[in-house]
Amino acid sequence: MLERGTTYADTRARFRWRVPGRYNIGADICDKWAGETDRLALIYKRAPGEPGAEVERYTFRELSRLSNRLANALAAHGVARGDRVGILLPQAPETAVSHIATYKLGAIAVPLFTLFGTEALEYRISDSGAAALITDTAGLAKIAEIRERLPALKLVLCIDGPREGAPGFHEVMAQARDSFAPADTLAEDPALIIYTSGTTGPPKGALHGHRVLLGHLPGVEFPHEFFPQAGDLFWTPADWAWIGGLIDVLLPAWHHGVPVLAHRFAKFDPEDAFRLMADFGVRNAFMPPTALKMMRGVENPRARFGHDVRSIGSGGETLGEGLLDWGRETFGLTINEFYGQTECNLVVGNCAGLMAVKPGSMGRAIPGHEVAIVDDAGTPLPHGAHGNIAIARPDPVMFLEYWNNPEATERKFAGDWLLTGDTGTRDEDGYFHFAGREDDVITSGGYRIGPGEVEDCLLKHPSVAMAAVVGVPDDLRTERVKAFVVLRPGHEAGDALARELQTHVKSRLAAHEYPREVAFIDALPMTATGKIIRRALRERKEP
């Protein structure tokens, strides 16, 4: 979609959206390339100790046939157009096939993070009303604990073979036909629900239409220096359950017929990341800032590993001048920062080959998107003024609504401006500078963490009377989760109880959400109306 001009202004002026009335993600990212029999789509490097060949390669034709089989199998088990299909899997071929098949069927994919605990999974599966779930043995064990409380969940498939209450993913596919006519979906028809964190109440499901992929394209092409180019191959350590892994990398790469490398680290290892990129010839990468900070500690990587990366995009946290300088020295390129959120992603960014990159700036509005700083009523503010970062509607990348939550959807907008909940400024050159988050969502290691969900989990522990969660500065993660806890009578504060509370959250929500610090206090600071004053907690000095 993005045509390169001589300048940023020229490139922006040349841009035109081309969103057809009828469009299906599954057919677009897979079937349209299936006629080229040898066109490579996916390289899968298994984790050490994982059964099977160390490296597997899949063509678009193979993925087309596999996804056709799965779409037929799901339909045979009663999954219909508009039904929600949970996908609780790491980066793997089965994950990609599940997404393609769900979109072809006209159903709605619900990506689920493998590190979620039972409470987090129960809420998302229940709220979405998922009729089917595709997972592995590890995920199945979690689902077994909550399945009786999920009456809408009629089908669970296990990619590791048949288990009690779960037919085998590959076994049901083997019995299905490998031809399937994709649903004739409108570009506006729902395709995907990704749950996003908030500060109050439970997480909200951002519902996206099939057009969301087309809406992402300029935001991928711009920071990746007019992607695609000959020889491109894309990889990210970000999980495909998040919008950054799924629609910043996997789906747009396949829209362009570019192969993707899949590999799941048990724990991110910066040396292994360099080695992986060199071994497989990765040319394009989306790297969260935390991963880049960890990689910065590797000595002399360019000489040791011999990588040849063409573009690196990064988002979720602001990059500093030091990290940009390290990127130029290590990769011979400028890491292009970009900005967006689950509801409206990749709307601001940098493209070093076209314009100057200002350290500390998120970049300029991506061509095709109208971004501004507005006041609470939605009135645009002048250059330099502090206000809400907002995006004008209509916009192809913008979500349709919050699933089953019209009130929250309405609150997201001020007139025709979507309010991101983040604040910042725009300078006289059109560069945006992030200032802070109005809604107190914590950004840690590239993840957005809603304190409300963590607080709710803490309150379920028998020792906890009240809890408040905030983000505090962290050199590696940008922020780390800190919990302030008021205990019930009869319970004693101490390191042992702090560790118990950390484990409680880690096992029930997710490993990235647990509080890395726990402080026991006598009372929480409150407003007259009973709201927690989080600013006071963030500024609190421990004795």
Mean per-residue pLDDT, 214-223: 98
pLDDT band at 201 (very low <50, low <70, confident <90, very high): low
- Arithmetic mean of pLDDT, 286-304: 89
Q: Can you tell me the distance from the alpha carbon of 76 to that of 71, in angstroms, rounded to the nearest whole number?
A: 9
Do you know the residue count of the chain? 543
How large is the average pLDDT for residues 18-38? Answer: 97
Question: 């006629």: which residue's tokens?
Answer: 35
**In the chain, % of residues over pLDDT 70:** 98
Give 380-385's long-range contacts (Cβ < 8 A, gap of 24+): 383/425, 383/426, 383/427, 383/428, 384/425, 384/426, 384/427, 384/428, 385/425
Q: Quick check: is 418 in a domain?
A: no
Tell me, what CATH number does 447's domain have? 3.30.300.30
Three-state SS annotation for 277-294: HHHHCCCEEECCHHHHHH
pLDDT at 17 over 70: yes
| pLDDT per residue as tens digits for the range 111-160 | 999 999 999 999 999 999 999 999 999 999 999 999 999 999 999 999 99
Cα dihedral 79/81/83/89 (nearest 10):
70
With respect to residue 526, please indicate whether it lies within any of the assigned structural domains: yes
Task: Please give the pLDDT value at position 398.
Answer: 98
pLDDT at residue 374 greater than cutoff 60: yes
Q: What is the pLDDT of residue 466?
A: 86
Number of domains in the chain: 1
Supply the mean pLDDT for the chain.
Answer: 94
Kindly indicate the confidence band of residue 345, based on its pLDDT and cuts at 50, 70 and 90. very high
Which segment of 279-288, 494-503, 508-517 scores lowest on mean pLDDT?
508-517
Give the Cα separation of 53 and 417 in Å (integer). Answer: 50
Query: Using an 8 Å Cβ cutoff, are 252 and 217 in contact?
Result: yes
In this model, does residue 324 exceed pLDDT 70?
yes
Task: Determine the structural domain holding residue 476 and report its residue range.
Answer: 442-539
Worst-scoring range by mean pLDDT, 290-304, 358-372, 441-455? 441-455
417-426/413-414 β-pairing: antiparallel
- For residue 281, pLDDT over 70 is answered with yes
Instruction: Using a pLDDT cut of 90, give the percent of the chain over it.
Output: 81
Domain assignment of residue 476, yes or no: yes
How confident is the model over 147-198, as pLDDT tens digits?
999 999 999 999 999 999 999 999 999 999 999 999 999 999 999 999 986 5
In the chain, what is the straight-line distance between the N-terminal and C-terminal CA atoms, in Å? 56
Residue 109 covered by a domain = no
**Per-residue model confidence (pLDDT) at position 540:** 87
Half-sphere exposure of 314 (CA within 13 A, CB side): 24
Tokens of 384: 């330099």
Q: How many CB atoms lie within 10 A of CB 313?
A: 27
Average pLDDT (275-303) is 92
Give a yes or no: residue 493 inside a domain.
Answer: yes
Is residue 390 classed exposed, middle or buried when 0-12, 13-18 and 19+ CB atoms within 10 A define those classes? buried
pLDDT at 528: 56
Of the pLDDT bands very low, low, confident and very high (cuts 50, 70, 90), residue 449 is confident
Cα separation, 363 vs 394, whole angstroms: 22
**Residue 50 has what pLDDT?**
81
Look at the pTM and tell me if it is higher than 0.85: yes
Q: Examine residue 229 and state whether it is found in any structural domain, yes or no.
A: no
Q: Phi and psi of 534, rounded to 5°?
A: -70, -30
| pLDDT for the residue 535 | 84
Q: Which of 281-285, 403-407, 528-532 has the least mean pLDDT?
A: 528-532
Number of Cβ within a 10 Å radius of residue 277? 25
| Residue 194, domain member (yes or no) | no
What digits encode the pLDDT tens for the residues 392-405? 999 999 999 999 99
Q: What is the DSSP string of 385-442?
A: --EEEEEESS-TTB--EETT-HHHHHHTEETTEEEEEEEEEE-TTS-EEEEEETT--E
- At which residue do the structure tokens 């401006």 appear? 417
How many whole angstroms separate alpha carbon 526 and alpha carbon 343?
A: 30
Instruction: Report the relative pairing of strands 190-196 and 204-209 from DSSP bridges.
Output: antiparallel
Least confident of 64-73, 97-106, 470-479: 470-479
- 51: pLDDT confidence band, cut at 50, 70 and 90? confident
Question: What pLDDT score does 531 carry?
Answer: 67
- Please report whether residue 447 resides in a domain: yes
User: What span, in angstroms and rounded, lies between the C-alpha atoms of 292 and 276?
Assistant: 15
Q: Report pLDDT for 267.
A: 84
In this structure, what token pair is assigned to residue 525?
């600071």
Cβ burial, residue 428 (10 Å; 0-12/13-18/19+):
exposed
What the block records as the tokens of 518 is 């726990």
Window from 44-48, 221-225, 490-494 with minimum mean pLDDT: 44-48
Distance (Å, rounded) from C-alpha 251 to C-alpha 248?
Answer: 7
**Quick one: pLDDT band at residue 440, thresholds 50, 70, 90?**
confident
